[in-house]
């Protein structure tokens, strides 16, 4: 990890959620998905709910770069209103920074980034961690 890294994930969950419905509504292929009653990926654990997650594959220190990558992937508007059984849906932005004495830590979102977040229409969970 460099001095800071940003990780960007869209997460949609629901007990009876069908990930195929989410892919059709978003036009995105999930990084991780499963349905209730089926194995969670390559593990022997059985899913107790449905999950659809898309993680940005790029390595970047910028939220904007992740959002521009997502914008390039989107073929149209995201319309999750047609997807049944969504119980929890959010954008997870995790920022990890290396502690540097006297450094000011700030998060900048330009207008383009805000407009992309608005277009997605999901709440954002933002976590900022500083480590030694």
Q: How many domains does the chain have?
A: 1
What is residue 61's predicted lDDT score, i.e. its pLDDT? Answer: 87
Rounded to two decimals, what is the model's pTM? 0.87
**2: confidence class by pLDDT, cuts 50, 70, 90:** low
* Per-residue pLDDT tens over the stretch 74-116: 877 777 888 999 999 999 999 888 877 666 667 788 999 998 8
Alpha carbon 119 to its chain's center: 14
Alpha-helical runs (H) found in the chain = 19-26, 63-73, 111-120
Handedness of CA 86, 88, 91, 94 (dihedral sign): negative
**20: confidence class by pLDDT, cuts 50, 70, 90:** very high
* CA 90/CA 19 separation, integer angstroms: 15
Whole-number percent of the chain with pLDDT over 90: 55
What is residue 15's predicted lDDT score, i.e. its pLDDT? Answer: 96
User: When comparing pLDDT for 75 and 121, which is higher?
Assistant: 121
Of the chain, the end-to-end C-alpha distance in Å amounts to 12
Give whole-number Cα distances, 28 to 22, 48, 120, 125, in Å: 8, 23, 12, 20
> Which range marks the domain in which residue 72 is found?
4-131
């Amino acid at each position: 990890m460099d001095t800071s890294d940003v990780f960007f994930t869209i997460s949609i969950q629901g007990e009876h959620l069908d990930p195929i419905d989410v892919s059709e509504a978003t036009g995105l292929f999930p990084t991780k998905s499963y349905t209730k009653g089926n194995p969670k990926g390559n593990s022997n654990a059985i899913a107790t709910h449905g999950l659809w997650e898309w993680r940005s594959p790029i390595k970047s220190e910028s939220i904007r770069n992740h959002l521009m990558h997502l914008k390039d992937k989107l073929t149209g508007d995201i319309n999750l209103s047609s997807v049944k059984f969504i119980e929890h849906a959010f954008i997870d932005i995790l920022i990890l920074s290396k502690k540097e004495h006297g450094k000011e830590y700030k998060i900048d979102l330009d207008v383009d980034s805000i407009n992309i977040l608005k277009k997605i229409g999901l709440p954002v969970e933002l976590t900022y961690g500083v480590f030694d």
